[in-house]
């Protein structure tokens, strides 16, 4: 098993449709011992039963917008798992109003919120975990094509994902001397809780199954398998990379519809 004897923390499971959940399933099946973290009390009811299926115990609440809460959460994590081999960061948010209309009209608060929760939280979590990481550990986050292309209605989230991808490269350089790898998966559109707030999401899914080289939509299982690879020693020489898992859509010419 690829992750036998390895321990990891997965941030961002919201329900069984979450990409984080698909990665968690693959990691569990391949022998990993896991802890799950959720954003607030309201997610415990949905994620608690999922954690039980992974023998992961009670999910740990962590409000990643608060340095104090990150420290508190990691005190609990250290008590339950003093050393870790991987961390998965699958956290993103933006104001609904900022995912409609023009990016130019993004609010200052909305811009700050998207970058704080979707980007800086990966930095903050990884920094807090630094003294827990075993040699060869892997840090993984999730991004999207909107980081490098202007995708209608993705707006400020695309800019935050661009910042996240840049952070992956800088963090890979910082962690590299310790033998810790940092990577991201750029997943194609998958129906998740966070994707549901993006206007025109169904259109993006419909376009991919026609325009992507594999002529189908990407699945959560596809993303889970790719995550397993990057978390495992099979990717021991891979760091600072953005791995596209979108059935090849990113290599194609512009099929994105415009909203006038």
Say if residue 197 is exposed, middle or buried (CB neighbours under 10 Å; 0-12, 13-18, 19+): middle
Among the listed residues 154, 170, 244, 249, the single catalytic one is 154
- Give the C-alpha separation, 204 to 211, whole Å: 10
| Beta carbons of 188 and 245 less than 8 angstroms apart | yes
Q: Which two tokens stand for residue 175?
A: 């962690």
Q: What count of other Cβ atoms lies within 10 Å of the Cβ of residue 30? A: 15
The β-bridge relationship of strands 242-245 and 181-187 is parallel
Task: Name the catalytic one among 144, 170, 244, 249.
Answer: 144
Please confirm, yes or no, whether 144 is among the known catalytic residues: yes
Using alpha carbons, select from 34, 36, 39 the residue that is nearest to residue 64: 39
Helix residue ranges, H only, the chain: 19-29, 44-53, 67-80, 108-115, 121-129, 155-175, 201-211, 220-231
- Check if the beta carbon of residue 87 is closer than 8 Å to that of residue 126: yes
Q: Is 176 helix (H, G, I), strand (E, B) or coil?
A: helix
Residue with structure tokens 């002529």?
Answer: 215
Q: Active-site residue numbers?
A: 144, 154
């Amino acid at each position: 098993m690829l992750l036998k004897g390895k321990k990891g923390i997965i941030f961002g499971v919201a329900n069984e449709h979450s990409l984080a959940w698909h990665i968690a399933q693959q990691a569990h099946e391949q022998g990993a011992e896991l802890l799950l973290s959720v954003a607030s009390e309201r997610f415990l009811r949905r994620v608690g039963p999922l954690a039980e299926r992974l023998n992961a115990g009670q999910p740990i609440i962590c409000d990643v917008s608060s340095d104090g809460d990150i420290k508190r959460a990691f005190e609990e994590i250290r008590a339950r798992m003093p050393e870790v081999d991987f961390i998965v960061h699958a956290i993103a948010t933006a104001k609904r109003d900022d995912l409609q209309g023009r990016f130019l009209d993004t609010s200052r608060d909305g811009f700050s919120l998207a970058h704080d929760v979707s980007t800086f939280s990966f930095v903050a979590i990884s920094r807090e975990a630094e003294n827990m990481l075993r040699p060869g550990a892997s840090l993984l986050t999730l991004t999207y094509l909107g980081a490098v292309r202007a995708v209608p209605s993705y707006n400020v989230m695309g800019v935050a994902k661009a910042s996240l991808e840049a952070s992956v490269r800088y963090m890979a350089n910082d962690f590299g001397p310790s033998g810790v790898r940092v990577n991201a998966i750029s997943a194609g559109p998958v129906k998740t809780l966070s994707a549901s707030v993006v206007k025109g999401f169904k259109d993006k899914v419909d376009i991919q199954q026609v325009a992507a080289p594999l002529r189908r939509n990407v699945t959560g299982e596809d993303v889970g398998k790719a995550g397993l690879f990057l978390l495992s020693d099979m990717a021991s020489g891979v760091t600072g990379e953005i791995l596209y898992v979108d059935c090849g859509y990113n290599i194609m010419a512009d099929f994105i519809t415009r909203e006038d």
